């Protein structure tokens, strides 16, 4: 059978590569063409376009690259038409993929969406389009099943693909980063968020002289971005080693997003740090309909980890919350218990294999 898979960012490339491996195990005659990255290509798919050419974030940047984006969409439609896949598999990346889904449905192509767009957070009305255009929605967060049920849309929960990634990583010995107990700093991957959050995170350094602070450096960002902020403080950089860093950390300060979930799955007590542009945050508060900003708390539906947001993200609060995750044994025990439940909730089974089973079955 012929499979066409579209992922538009690094995380999609990672999860797409594991999906491709699972499809090839279940369908040995599979031919797979993809938009994604090196990992998907190495897993056995023919790469059409790299996600580096697709990743435009933010309103202004999207407007500036609108012609490129529209050209990519047209090129994608032509390529799918020529390839004639038995199934089109879309991985997250909603701005692009939902447009392709609408077109593919009109062409009579079967569409599977793996890793749902976060329609539960904002623009709920997009569910109507997903119901219309997607033959099978595969979700990775347990609460998404109930969310879609409200819209009378039956979806399949396959477990979270990060479980399998972290499980594999935990089998690999860590490469030692320090003799001191480590506090990891995960300030995000975009230059703008690093410039805002890292200086505040670093205010904690002087309070913990017996710990080694290490920043998880995004591979896409230059050393100078971090060193100009760190200055002469005793803080180390770990470039492209986030998982190696988390395996050795005693605690972590983490920007919101998938990193909060990754940190929890590695069992590291954490404090979530978020500070955005005041106007953007004010708008987001009115548009986004979720109780928490971290995936850990959203999935558990309770405040498992502390979220320091906007004005609460300051030196005094950082010290107070870091003290709790480093020294409060009762708090740490409760946190570890919640982390264990989180792992169980996200699926004791293999998400990639579960998703591949559905995708292969839909083509036969």
Q: 154-176, pLDDT tens digit by residue?
A: 999 999 999 999 999 999 999 99
Domain match, 326 and 312 both: yes
Domain match, 214 and 298 both: yes
What's the whole-number mean pLDDT along residues 29-44?
95
Residues 88 and 2: their CA atoms lie apart, in Å, by 9
351: nearest Cα among 139, 118, 130? 139
* Amino acid 53: pLDDT: 73
What's the number of CA atoms in the CB half-sphere (13 Å) around residue 164?
A: 20
Domain match, 116 and 25 both: yes
Domain count, the chain: 2
Domain that holds residue 249: 168-345
* Amino acid 289: pLDDT: 61
Q: Which of 63-77, 119-133, 236-250 has the lowest mean pLDDT?
A: 63-77
What's the whole-number mean pLDDT along residues 271-284?
71
Domain match, 322 and 355 both: no
What's the whole-number mean pLDDT along residues 261-272?
97
Take residue 92 and report the two structure tokens written for it.
Answer: 């997250």
**Dihedrals phi, psi of 345, to nearest 5 degrees:** -60, -35
Residues 102 and 133: their CA atoms lie apart, in Å, by 5
Take residue 115 and report the two structure tokens written for it.
Answer: 């890793």
Residues 5 and 114: their CA atoms lie apart, in Å, by 10
What's the whole-number mean pLDDT along residues 313-337?
96
3-state secondary structure at position 300: helix
Domain match, 252 and 359 both: no
Domain match, 218 and 259 both: yes
Residues 6+ apart with CB under 8 A from 144: 116, 120, 155, 157
Place of tokens 């030196």: 315
Model confidence band, residue 285 (pLDDT cutoffs 50, 70, 90): low
Residue 222 has pLDDT above 70, yes or no: yes
Q: Which of 183-197, 233-247, 282-296 has the lowest mean pLDDT?
A: 282-296
Model confidence band, residue 111 (pLDDT cutoffs 50, 70, 90): very high
Residue 1 has pLDDT above 70, yes or no: yes
What's the number of CA atoms in the CB half-sphere (13 Å) around residue 209?
A: 0
What's the whole-number mean pLDDT along residues 248-257?
93
293: nearest Cα among 284, 65, 127, 100? 284
Domain match, 145 and 173 both: no
Enclosing H/E stretch for 111: strand 111-114
Domain match, 137 and 150 both: yes
Domain match, 199 and 320 both: yes
CATH number at residue 233: 3.40.50.2000
* Amino acid 25: pLDDT: 97
165: nearest Cα among 15, 330, 55? 15
* Amino acid 9: pLDDT: 83
What's the whole-number mean pLDDT along residues 84-105?
95
* Amino acid 190: pLDDT: 79
Mean residue pLDDT across the chain: 91
Residue 220 has pLDDT above 80, yes or no: no
* Amino acid 156: pLDDT: 95
Residue 281 has pLDDT above 60, yes or no: no
Q: What percentage of the chain exceeds 90 in pLDDT? A: 75
Domain match, 232 and 308 both: yes
Q: Which of 8-12, 82-86, 283-287, 346-350 has the lowest mean pLDDT?
A: 283-287
Q: What percentage of the chain exceeds 70 in pLDDT? A: 93
* Amino acid 187: pLDDT: 95
Q: Which of 2-11, 60-69, 258-267, 278-287 has the lowest mean pLDDT?
A: 278-287
Residue 167 CB coordination number (10 Å):
12
Domain match, 16 and 145 both: yes
């Amino acid at each position: 059978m012929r499979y066409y898979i579209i992922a538009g960012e690094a995380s999609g490339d990672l999860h797409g590569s594991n999906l491709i491996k699972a499809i090839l195990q279940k369908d040995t005659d599979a031919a797979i063409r993809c938009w994604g990255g090196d990992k998907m290509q190495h897993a056995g798919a023919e790469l059409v376009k790299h996600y580096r050419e697709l990743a435009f974030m933010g309103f202004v940047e999207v407007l500036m690259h609108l012609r490129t984006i529209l050209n990519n969409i047209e090129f994608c439609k032509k390529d799918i038409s020529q390839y004639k896949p038995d199934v089109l598999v879309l991985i997250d990346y909603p701005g692009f993929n939902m447009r392709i889904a609408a077109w593919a449905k009109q062409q009579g192509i079967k569409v599977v969406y793996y890793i749902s767009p976060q329609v539960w957070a904002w623009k709920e009305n997009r569910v109507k389009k997903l119901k219309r255009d997607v033959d099978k929605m595969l979700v990775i967060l347990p609460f998404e099943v109930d969310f879609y049920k409200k819209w009378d849309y039956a979806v399949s929960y396959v477990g979270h693909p990060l479980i399998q990634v972290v499980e594999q990583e935990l089998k690999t010995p860590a490469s030692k980063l320090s003799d001191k107990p480590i506090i990891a700093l995960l300030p995000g991957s975009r230059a703008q968020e690093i410039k805002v959050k890292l200086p505040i995170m670093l205010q904690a350094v002087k309070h913990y002289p017996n710990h080694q602070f290490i920043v998880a450096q995004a591979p896409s960002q230059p050393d100078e971005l971090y060193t100009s902020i760190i200055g002469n403080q005793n803080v180390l950089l770990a470039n492209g080693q986030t998982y190696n860093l988390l395996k050795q950390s005693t605690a972590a300060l983490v920007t919101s997003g998938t990193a909060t979930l990754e940190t929890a799955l590695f069992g590291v007590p954490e404090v979530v740090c978020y500070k955005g542009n005041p106007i953007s945050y004010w708008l987001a508060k009115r548009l986004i309909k979720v109780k928490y900003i971290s995936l850990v708390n959203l999935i558990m539906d309770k405040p498992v980890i502390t979220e320091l947001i906007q004005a609460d993200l300051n030196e005094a609060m950082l010290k107070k919350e870091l003290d709790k995750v480093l020294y409060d044994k009762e708090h740490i025990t409760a946190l570890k218990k919640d982390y264990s439940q989180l792992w169980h909730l996200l699926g004791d089974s293999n998400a990639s294999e579960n998703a591949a089973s559905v995708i292969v079955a839909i083509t036969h």
